[in-house]
Structure 1
Amino acid sequence: MFDGPASVGSLLRAAPPDRLPEVTAEHLRARYAADRVEVLLADLSLNALVPVLDPEGPVGGPVEQRCFGSQLPINDPRPDGPARLLLPLTVWGDRLGVLSLETEQPATRELTADLAALAGELAMALRTADRDTDRYHKVRRRQRLTMAAELQWDLLPGRSLNGERFRLAGALEPAYAVYGDHYDWSITGDRLTITVLNGHGDGIEASLLTTVAVNAMRNARRSGAGIVEQGELASDAVYSRHGGNAYVATLLLEVGLTDGAVEAVDAGSPKAMVAHDGDIRPITLDQQLPLGMFGDNRYETQKFQLEPGDRLLVASDGVHAAAPGGRPAYGTSSLLTALRRTRLQPPSEAVGTVIRSLREYHDGLDAEDDAVIVCLDWLR
């Protein structure tokens, strides 16, 4: 018999990528006398937790949502039945879903810790398996994606990322029909690179435009280039394809995680602001030309400083410039109101709060643009 989370890791590595939930459930039944095991994955809009083992079963309720939001194990006691435990499925801060099970064993601290470690092994395996099976992709989508959205979701790095000195999250809206807005990030050593993009136009052409820009910047970054060279290579790539008829408004940031120093290349419409103890101030940067507008775009960095406890927020123009029905732009005051409501929330929850507030601001009207918001807490 296999015992403990380490053995589960071995079992999962040996399992076919589309059978990870079943292998986990079998281990839980054999090792922990578990029953009613279910793996629930968050849908693309993070509005529902969808069952994998029983696709016809109910979506996650308030307790499952509380586990997903708090990222803490929950013991949901039953007065006339076995204990029900819920464990978050998370990889480096990226929230995938919730593992739910019932067991006759007492829900001790040791048992909960073992099951939380097991859930971590399953989360890592699920994230890796996405490259080789469509099963989990199918579960996470509640409706069919547009082709543009399919391209964008495959291009994203993830939805959250945590490290020793930072917490980071991004949100993309509308989840099932996004066009040219996008975000990207990467951490190497004590440097965190964040990019927010707004591709010109709409539909699949905007998505293809953003795809070219993102991959050009990744190519430069992975060759050791800084954000200036990343922006210039992407600009050249976009111009060579579109001749200045299409472009990508972009904000590139490189954050020093040891000292909070930020270098920025502002090449378009995404806006940055910093929140600290309830005070929110815009980051004023000299705007340079969007990527691909001209054939010889060259860029310079600007600098600003984060202080311990600062929250850095970046919003695309689909957020700050949204003006549904001729109303004042969302960024005029409503965005600041929404941001203040997020003060006690982690970034992974804060971006969702802003997106929900933006939806409410539209008051039933269709959005004219897609939207991105990225939130970084620098902890030092």
Structure 2
Amino acid sequence: MSDGPASVGAQLRAAPPDRLPEVTAEHLRADHAADRVEVLLGDLSLSALWPVLDPEGPTGGLLEQRCFGSQLPVVDPRPDGPTKILLPLTVWGDRLGVLSLETTREAGQELTAELTVIADELAMALRTADKDTDRYHRVRRRQRLTMAAELQWELLPGRSLNGERFRLAGALEPAYAVYGDHYDWSVTGDRLTVTVLNGHGDGIEATLLTAVAVNAMRNARRAGAGIVEQAELASDAVYSRHGGNSYVATLLLEIGLGDGAVEAVDAGSPKAMVAHDRDIRPITLEQQLPLGMFGDTRYETQKFQLEPGDRLLVASDGVHAAAPGGRTAYGVSALLTALRRTRLQPPSEAVGTVIRGLREYHDGLDADDDAVLVCLDWLR
């Protein structure tokens, strides 16, 4: 027998990156009398949980979906057999999937706590291993990505992020064929930077355009620059490559996590709104030129204030301006209806609810544009 739940971390660090589920399963069988161990990962659209150890096995059912959605362990005792235990696989709020097992041990708080440590170690290892193996990428992809989508997914920071004072999530749609829409974020100390972008055009050219802008803003941000310099460097980079023939619409936000003060650079089509209880109000900002439209463009910040419990939402034009079949734009009223349905949901669930509402609004028609939605809860 090994040294307990903490030892699995050392085992995972010593294991090949593509063998993490097997190492975890062996540890659980040896130390916790576990059987029927499975690691289930969410697909790119987070519509189902898919097995890794037995790729031909069933997808996650209602219990697995409950664990994934609630982000809490689920214990399912059976009077005539082993107890089934499900644990969320999550890193800093980024939901990866669910660890499932059956055990004959008594399923009390002590066991659940031990298994939670193991699940947390596995989640961190899985996230790190993604850089060195394609195994988990293949499980999450239920169809082949376009080249543009491949580039976009590699650029994303994650799908959700939690901190002491905030909950944050983003959604990108359609998952397998996105083009120029994108989001980015970074937290350092008490400052959270959030960016939503929409590259001009279609296909891989729009993706490459967005990639230039994202990396230019990251370059400035990582050098300690504020959002004005981030926007200006990105604008200069896009203009130097395209000469004003292509541009990137962008909304950059820097949120003070201590006081809720927000500085914004509005350089295009993404729209922001704030929800508090059932009240939803748009954030009106003076729109400046999109990035890369002209050379040496200079930007200014504008400010607004979040209150404790506020939910900040940012939507690209693929969300708020979607008008399938000539219908009224989704952002006029249907978006507000969808947002009100998310009132009791965490951001990681809320973005999915709104995106599903957008799909329903298209009523079977193909979307004309890709879409991004970012949701932030400021907790203070």
State the partner residue of 2:120.
120
Q: Measure, in 1, the Cα distance between the counterparts of 2:77 and 2:147.
A: 44
In 2, are the aligned partners of 1:33 and 1:104 still within 8 Å (CA)? Answer: yes
Amino acid of the structure 2 residue aligned with 1:358: L
How far apart are 1:117 and its partner, in Å?
Answer: 1.2
Moved more, 258-267 or 74-83: 74-83
How far apart are 1:297 and its partner, in Å?
Answer: 1.0
State the partner residue of 1:236.
236
State the partner residue of 2:323.
323
State the partner residue of 1:249.
249
State the partner residue of 2:272.
272
Q: Measure, in 2, the Cα distance between the counterparts of 1:178 and 1:254.
A: 26
Q: Measure, in 2, the Cα distance between the counterparts of 1:227 and 1:292.
A: 16
State the partner residue of 2:78.
78
Amino acid of the structure 2 residue aligned with 1:193: T
State the partner residue of 1:19.
19
State the partner residue of 1:62.
62
Amino acid of the structure 1 residue aligned with 2:255: V
Amino acid of the structure 1 residue aligned with 2:81: G
Secondary structure of 2:128 counterpart: helix
Q: Measure, in 2, the Cα distance between the counterparts of 1:206 and 1:83.
A: 50
Equivalence map 1:28-39=2 (5 Å): 28-39=28-39
Q: Measure, in 1, the Cα distance between the counterparts of 2:171 and 2:340.
A: 17
State the partner residue of 2:103.
103
Equivalence map 1:275-314=2 (5 Å): 275-314=275-314
Give the TM-score taking structure 2 as reference length: 0.99
For residues 92-133 of structure 1, give each alpha carbon's deviation from its aligned partner in whole angstroms, at most 9, with x where no partner exists: 000000000000001101100110111000000000000100
Amino acid of the structure 2 residue aligned with 1:275: A
State the partner residue of 1:133.
133
Structure 1, unpaired ranges of 5+: none
Asked if 1:200 corresponds to 2:212, the answer is no
Q: Measure, in 1, the Cα distance between the counterparts of 2:2 and 2:274.
A: 49
Structure 2, unpaired ranges of 5+: none
Amino acid of the structure 2 residue aligned with 1:206: A
Secondary structure of 1:21 counterpart: helix
For residues 191-243 of structure 1, give each alpha carbon's deviation from its aligned partner in whole angstroms, at most 9, with x where no partner exists: 00000000000110000000000000000000000000000000000000000
Q: Measure, in 2, the Cα distance between the counterparts of 1:163 and 1:63.
A: 27
Secondary structure of 1:121 counterpart: helix
How far apart are 1:79 and its partner, in Å?
Answer: 3.0
Secondary structure of 1:220 counterpart: helix
Q: Measure, in 2, the Cα distance between the counterparts of 1:6 and 1:235.
A: 48
Secondary structure of 1:345 counterpart: coil
For residues 332-355 of structure 1, give each alpha carbon's deviation from its aligned partner in whole angstroms, at most 9, with x where no partner exists: 000000000000000000000000
How far apart are 1:4 and its partner, in Å?
Answer: 2.6
Asked if 1:223 corresponds to 2:231, the answer is no
Secondary structure of 2:240 counterpart: helix
State the partner residue of 2:94.
94
Q: Measure, in 2, the Cα distance between the counterparts of 1:11 and 1:50.
A: 24
Q: Measure, in 2, the Cα distance between the counterparts of 1:173 and 1:79.
A: 43
Q: Measure, in 2, the Cα distance between the counterparts of 1:269 and 1:80.
A: 59
How far apart are 1:368 and its partner, in Å?
Answer: 0.2
Q: Measure, in 1, the Cα distance between the counterparts of 2:305 and 2:46.
A: 32
How far apart are 1:3 and its partner, in Å?
Answer: 2.9
Aligned pairs, how many?
380
Secondary structure of 2:6 counterpart: helix
Amino acid of the structure 2 residue aligned with 1:40: L
State the partner residue of 1:2.
2
Secondary structure of 1:23 counterpart: helix
RMSD after superposition = 0.5
Secondary structure of 1:274 counterpart: strand
Q: Measure, in 1, the Cα distance between the counterparts of 2:168 and 2:56.
A: 34
Amino acid of the structure 2 residue aligned with 1:379: L
How far apart are 1:180 and its partner, in Å?
Answer: 0.3
For residues 268-302 of structure 1, give each alpha carbon's deviation from its aligned partner in whole angstroms, at most 9, with x where no partner exists: 00000000011000000000000000012110000
Q: Measure, in 1, the Cα distance between the counterparts of 2:297 and 2:199.
A: 17
Aligned residues with identical type, % of pairs: 88
In 2, are the aligned partners of 1:152 and 1:207 still within 8 Å (CA)? Answer: yes
State the partner residue of 2:188.
188
Q: Measure, in 1, the Cα distance between the counterparts of 2:182 and 2:43.
A: 18
Q: Measure, in 1, the Cα distance between the counterparts of 2:297 and 2:162.
A: 34
For residues 3-51 of structure 1, give each alpha carbon's deviation from its aligned partner in whole angstroms, at most 9, with x where no partner exists: 3332111000000000000000000000001000000000000001000
Amino acid of the structure 2 residue aligned with 1:363: D
Equivalence map 1:149-164=2 (5 Å): 149-164=149-164
Secondary structure of 1:269 counterpart: coil
Q: Measure, in 1, the Cα distance between the counterparts of 2:243 and 2:79.
A: 69
Q: Measure, in 2, the Cα distance between the counterparts of 1:260 and 1:209.
A: 32
Secondary structure of 2:331 counterpart: helix
